[in-house]
Amino acid sequence: MNRVRVLLAAGGVVLAIALFVLLARPGSSGSRQGGGGLVIGGPFSLVDGTGKNVTDRDFRGKFLLVYFGYTHCPDVCPTTLGAMAEALGKMPAPARARVVPVFITVDPARDTASVVGAYAHAFGPEFVGLTGSAAAIADVEREYRVYAQKHVLEGGDYAMDHSSVIYVMAPDGSFDAVLDDQMAPATMAQQLTKLGV
Ligand code: NI
């Protein structure tokens, strides 16, 4: 499953930019080396909404839809997570049961375990929110080629500028595909079906 399958839909420019970011930040030591040359994903050790330690191995046997963002995000994160929830809602129950949507914060300073857990859960009972130490989040961002940058706002508050794509990880933990965050939920559901979900 190492073949890179890039699924293009509307919003191809956004995907192109996302892929540029992905390709422009090559390999970390912890990443899995895929046969296709594009290395995405790898081992992680994070904390879920209940404060429990979880690793990538805990999700073996499931397709993961991995999305990176932060709970203070005003627009892109809630829109994308909402689209993921809607897409899963369009899939038959047995397929849906094979998928775990995972939200990983890029803002661990504010997104504690309970905050990220409650936020993810608001999009559906199957959504898992993950956070961790600054170092653990930096590691997983590097593995997934995530761009995330703090952006201080007037008044001292801050936002996180971040790349926004949905990673589909296969049940064996390998990278399967990237879905454009602008994809309509029905299209997303079709693409997941094509990927064998
Ligand atoms: Ni966001």
Could you read off the pLDDT of 64-85 as tens digits, one per residue? 999 999 999 999 999 999 999 9
Sort strands 175-180 and 45-47 into parallel, antiparallel or unpaired. Answer: unpaired
What contacts 24+ positions apart, CB below 8 Å, involve 117-126?
117/48, 117/49, 117/50, 118/49, 119/71, 120/49, 120/81, 121/49, 123/81, 123/82, 123/84, 123/85, 124/85, 124/88, 126/88, 126/96, 126/99, 126/100, 126/101
| pLDDT, position 37 | 63
Lowest mean pLDDT among 18-22, 31-35, 103-107, 110-114: 31-35
- Check residues 25 and 125 and name the one with the higher pLDDT: 125
Predicted confidence band at 19 (pLDDT cuts at 50, 70, 90)? low
* Ligand 1 centre distance from Cα of residue 55 (Å): 23
Predicted confidence band at 5 (pLDDT cuts at 50, 70, 90)? very low
* Ligand 1 centre distance from Cα of residue 24 (Å): 21
The range of the structural domain enclosing residue 147 comes to 2-194
Mean pLDDT of 49-64: 98
**Average of per-residue pLDDT values in the chain:** 86
The neighbouring-strand residues paired with 63 are 99
Whether the full predicted model's pTM is greater than 0.85, yes or no, is no
Tally of domains within the chain: 1
CATH number at residue 124: 3.40.30.10
Mean pLDDT of 24-29: 38
| pLDDT, position 43 | 96
* Ligand 1 centre distance from Cα of residue 103 (Å): 11
> What tens digit of pLDDT does each residue of 80-96 get?
999 999 999 999 999 99
The neighbouring-strand residues paired with 113 are none
* Ligand 1 centre distance from Cα of residue 147 (Å): 11
Task: Answer whether residue 104 shows pLDDT above 60.
Answer: yes
* Ligand 1 centre distance from Cα of residue 160 (Å): 7
The rounded percent of the chain whose pLDDT value lies above 90 is 80
* Ligand 1 centre distance from Cα of residue 73 (Å): 4
* Ligand 1 centre distance from Cα of residue 111 (Å): 13
* Ligand 1 centre distance from Cα of residue 47 (Å): 20
